[in-house]
Structures are given as structure tokens and as C-alpha cells.
A and B are shown apart, each in its own frame.
Chain A
């Protein structure tokens, strides 16, 4: 399936479009919190803090999965064009991760630092979530053109493999956070596994080539 849209068109219209589309969940959340603070009916339900923790957690994970889907997608389309969007979506994962933490630290725990620190140390699922998020920070920082140049493509690529670890940790975080044996985290886990599997043939080929060389 050839991608007929040209690169300049994608740059000019595609990028802003995707930018706005991926911002919509955050705008929705902000709007509903604004309503809540005005004591207006809103869509956050009876426990808005829980709702927004979960909403932002879900969107962080979704952005991560979309980011991880870009390379397999461009293979599938036999076109590098989807790569144009990869950095932006990856940064969105980081952005929603920040909102997730803000939601937890501010709206839920209201800056109860002692309690928060205890959470990070004592609650394994929070520790895991925190690790997942910390690993995203160097990726966000080095996402600029300057850093790609400074690090050279090889090392930059190696560093950005951390995103796989974040993906795995995020799924663990999700599974551990839910009570009982629940289906939803497993569906996300299956999607992540599928995305890993999609990379497998290329990875094996690379290994073989390296071994042969």
C-alpha cells in the first residue's frame, strides 16, 4: 500500500492535525476539572481524583503504545512517512505521564509529600510506575535534533530502546494496580506483546547480520 500523501503536506497539515487530535483528551480533562471547581455538573463522576488518575494513566499508556506502533506501521506501509510523527507522539506519552503525576500528586494526594514518598518506596506498583516514568525523562530530553546530532544516531537509538522497558513496566504497573484478575490490563499487555513481536523479524535479521560481520 503506497502512501500517496507527500512529505511536505504531512509536515504542513498532518502534523498540526495530529498534534491537536492527541491534545483533545487533555483538553477534555482540563475542561471537566474546570467545571468541577465551579461546582458544575461534569463528566468526572463521583470520585474525580480517581477518574483523572485513571484517565491520565490510560492515555500515557496509549500514547506509549502508539509510539511503539509507528515503526511496525511504516514497515507495513513500506514507507518511512509515519516516522515523521514518532517524536511528537513519544513526547505526548511524556506529557500525559506528567499529567498523570500531577493528577496524583496534586489533585489526589494534595502534596502530602511524606505520604507520597512512602508510596513510592513502599507500594511496588507506584515504584514500578515511577521507574517507568523516570526512564522516559532522558528520552524526552534527548528528543531534539541537537541531541540526536550530539549523541550520533547509533547511541541515540540505543538510548531510546529504553522505551521498551517503559512499556513493559507500564503494563506491570497497570496489572498490579487493578484489584483481582482483570481483563483490561491484559488487553493492553497483549497489544504491547504484539508490537514487540512485530519487531522480532527485523531484530533477528540485524543480529544475524552482526554475527556474520
Chain B
């Protein structure tokens, strides 16, 4: 039995002080003209779903994971989402995700792993060890954000579960419930949404499981109650609202690869040199900025992850 530590976040000890939020805002406002454009944008749309569920503040410690770039305003992070289970327009998730019930939640763990079974979020995530990491987020559609996530390293969860030595991959599935997710009615993709990582990628220090955002619990449209964050890969790899973790020795099927294998590979590492067949990946629009900025190899995380791919042809393994 894994140890729960619910109390720590129920206490709501103010590690997210109003000062912090104030500072965030300042940091964002100070960033010059385009920050101003973003401010205009940020006010232009309310983030619907976050109003529908009271998001509890979380207890966490700060880390050095911080690119030092202007954070994308909360309203944009929660109002501009790709979460096709709630609709294909960017504002659909914010409008429709209130229908998701993130608690109680259970995650099925199966395959080549010691601790098989069904687990609650608190069984997997050690709420006493929550940390904040500010990561760049680069969508395959050539836009990007900077997001302060709260969560735990993916490795901490996988180690608890005890993968068998033969397990080479870990696969994830998103909830696919017609009653909670209106977008499921139409087969945009072959539901449920599936993603996967090679075991060494999953164990990499950067791979993260978020349960929070901007110091509070994850809003539904951002993948409540728990989601993956792999910032060196295109956003769609960072699977939301996880209900299954499967350990396997064969490369798992992943949803976008199943849908268009020539456009979305298994790895989907951010790579400005390898274009998507329908658009260039050389530059990206940081949400809130007018122009485009250069996309960085591995989204700027090469020092941490490039070694995972030494000797691999990244053009063939896109």
C-alpha cells in the first residue's frame, strides 16, 4: 500500500502567497510592448471552467526549473487549449471541461509492472513532495507558452510502481467518457487518447506529472486531475487526465501517430529542422507576442535530453 498524504494540501498552507501571484503579474507586465498585447488578450476571455470548480491551493517547493522567460498569463493557459475530448476549437475545453469529474479518480496500472491494480491520484503522487517547475510548452501547431506546473517527477511514480526489467516503454491513456466529454461523440481520433514514452525518456529528470498549475490544482481543461508534462516534446505527448499506465516491451500505439503516421512520429521531439508536412517548425508564436520566435532544438532542453537520442536519425525518428 502506498502512503497517502492528503493532509498537506488540504491544510492549504500559504506557500502560494498573494505576493507570488503579484510578482508573476509584474514579471509579465514588465515585458514590454508585446507583454502589453498579451495583457489585452488576457483580459479578453474569461477562463470558464476554473470558475466552476474551486481549485485548492497546493503546497510545493520551488525548483531551478525556470527558463527565466515571461510566464504565459493564467487566462491564456486555461483558455486556449487543445483537448479534443471537449471539442476541437481552442476555447471549447474552457467552455466544456466543467463536465469532467476529476474526483474521485482512479488510474489503472497494468502490464509489465510489480504493483498492478487501481490507484487513486494520492496513491501515485506524493503530495508532500510537490514541486513547481516552470517549463516551456511547444505545441506541434507552432505556438508556445511558458507554464508554472506543480507536480512530481514521473520517475518518482514509476519507481513506486516497480517496472519489470523487461519493460521498455510506458504507455498512457486519457479518460474517454462520453458522459463527461462531449467531443468523444465524433471520432476526431480513435478514442481513448493514447501516448507513450520509452522507459529511459520516462525516467529522465525532466519528465513530470503535473497535478497543479500556477500554484493551484489543475483546472479540468488542462488535464485534471493528473497529466504528463514532457517539455522537450510537442505538446500532444503531454497526455492529460490519465486513467491508465501500462508497462510494455513493445512500442505502444499513440493517437496522433495512428491518425496521421507521416505527420506525427512516436518521438515527436521538438525539432526546428524537421518540418511538419503541413507547416514549418522553424519558428513559433509565443502566445501573447505578435511575431514569431525561433524554435529551439528539444525546446531548449537539449542539455538534459539530447543524450537519450545519440546515434539516432532524428529525421527518420521524428
Contacts and interface: CB of A to CB of B under 8 A. Distances in A.
A210 B79 CA distance: 59
A interface majority secondary structure:
loop
Nearest to B75: A46
B229 to A, nearest CB: 20
B97 interface: no
Contacts of B15: none
B143 A123 contact: no
Interface in B76-97: 76, 79-80, 84, 88, 90-91
Size range of the chain B interface in the assembly:
35 or more
A149 to B, nearest CB: 43
A67 B57 CA distance: 55
B282 A39 contact: no
A182 B87 CA distance: 10
A39 B143 CA distance: 20
Nearest to A107: B290
A42 to B, nearest CB: 5
A181 B259 contact: yes
B278 A180 contact: no
Contact of A180 (B75, B84, B275, B292): B84
A46 B76 contact: yes
Interface string B236-263: 0000000000000000000010011000
Nearest to A32: B44
A17 B91 CA distance: 33
Interface residues of A, number: 35
B55 interface: no
B40 interface: yes
B291 interface: yes
B186 A39 contact: no
Contact of A39 (B39, B188, B292): B39
B15 to A, nearest CB: 28
B44 A119 contact: no
B187 A181 contact: yes
A43 interface: yes
Contacts of A109: 292
Given A119-B279, A126-B278, 13 more contacts: A39-B36, A45-B45, A46-B41, A46-B42, A47-B80, A50-B141, A50-B143, A110-B292, A112-B292, A123-B279, A179-B141, A179-B259, A184-B88
17 contacts: A36-B37, A36-B41, A39-B37, A40-B40, A41-B40, A43-B44, A44-B41, A45-B91, A46-B42, A50-B90, A50-B143, A115-B282, A119-B279, A124-B278, A179-B141, A180-B88, A181-B186
Interface of B: 36-37, 39-45, 75-76, 79-80, 84, 88, 90-91, 141, 143, 186-189, 256, 259-260, 275, 277-280, 282-283, 285, 287-288, 291-292
